[in-house]
Homo-oligomer: A and B are copies of this chain.
């Protein structure tokens, strides 16, 4: 099927989907849930094919682990996730502003679905259930493109989803799976029918998509997060926040990549912070005056050390004269994702919170908190660093809509 036809049919399905009631949408999710449950054996069989294929291609063990749908209750929690979304309050038709402009003239601002979403994601096959649930619940059509590693699993799951939808009021074309990479480039031209692209993958993928489409793209390429340690601070707190921000999950976009330390900190305390990083097997890339420790974990900064997303157990560290220098450095070098100040001085904290131009700005908290689920918003679909209009973790449900 041509990309134009896929997009056009998704758009047509949307015009029906957007008129359905919450009950009708939630009921469709119930039926999808039941169908996937019933066909569990078939799905796991297809998943086994993907796993064998991945092993024969010597793919990394972490990728294989993500592919595997049979382990540790993954399948059941995928099913539970569909239920949870079905039971959320209706995100559509919520009145967010009501005004009487004149006698008999009333203005309402009402939440509405977006339209057609194009979602490109990685190898985890349970995402298809997840995204399907969120899309249907929020009244949006979705075109899904998964990684080729999980092709067999995706294929059978999408067939089951489509057969299930045929029994509901939701048009089956509201959820479409596409297979090849070529389809994606063509779909990126369908700005007449597609309203939003959500890429969930590498920075390169996101950057490539952003520069090859007129459709708005939700998300961010880099996550270069910074922490500034002020002179009026608590050492124990600082160490805990820095270690958590760096080591809890270094591959996350909300992991810290840069550490700016006020030069007025006692040298011994600076050393203690650096040592705690080294003790946690973090390689510190430091400016010359910070070469205080003799260790294989200490390296010199290079030209791009402060414009780099490591996504590993690495961090760039430098001294700054004061909070103003820290703010300027961050506004110039950060990717405007999430930044943190560590200080006991409320005035300085407020200055930092007000001066930094990033989606999330923290005072004495790990950058790892930048997550829609941790914010209590529901299932996260991405973190936006766009400024027009949504910024920060975005979800398709609950109170931030």
Binding site for B on A (CB under 8 A): 14-15, 18-19, 93, 97, 99, 101, 105, 107, 109-110, 112, 114-115, 195-196, 216, 218, 327-328, 331, 351, 353-355, 357, 365, 369, 374-376, 386-390, 392, 399-400
Determine whether the beta carbon of B15 is less than 8 Å from that of A357. yes
Determine whether the beta carbon of B99 is less than 8 Å from that of A376. yes
| Distance in angstroms between the alpha carbons of A399 and B387 in the assembled complex | 19
Determine whether the beta carbon of B388 is less than 8 Å from that of A195. yes
Extra 7 A-B pairs, beta carbons < 8 Å, given A195-B388, A216-B387: A15-B328, A15-B355, A99-B375, A105-B365, A109-B392, A114-B387, A388-B388
| Distance in angstroms between the alpha carbons of A388 and B196 in the assembled complex | 8
Determine whether the beta carbon of A101 is less than 8 Å from that of B375. yes
With A99-B376, A101-B376, A375-B99 in contact, is A388–B218 under 8 Å at CB?
Answer: yes
| Distance in angstroms between the alpha carbons of A328 and B14 in the assembled complex | 12
List 3 tightest A-B contacts by C-beta distance, closest first. Answer: A389-B389, A216-B388, A389-B390
27 contacts between A and B (CB under 8 A): A14-B357, A15-B328, A15-B355, A18-B354, A18-B355, A18-B357, A19-B355, A101-B369, A101-B374, A101-B375, A101-B376, A105-B369, A107-B375, A109-B392, A109-B400, A110-B353, A114-B388, A115-B357, A195-B387, A195-B388, A196-B387, A196-B388, A216-B386, A216-B388, A218-B388, A386-B388, A388-B389
Interfacial chain B residues near A328, Cβ < 8 Å: 15
A267 to chain B, nearest CB (A): 30
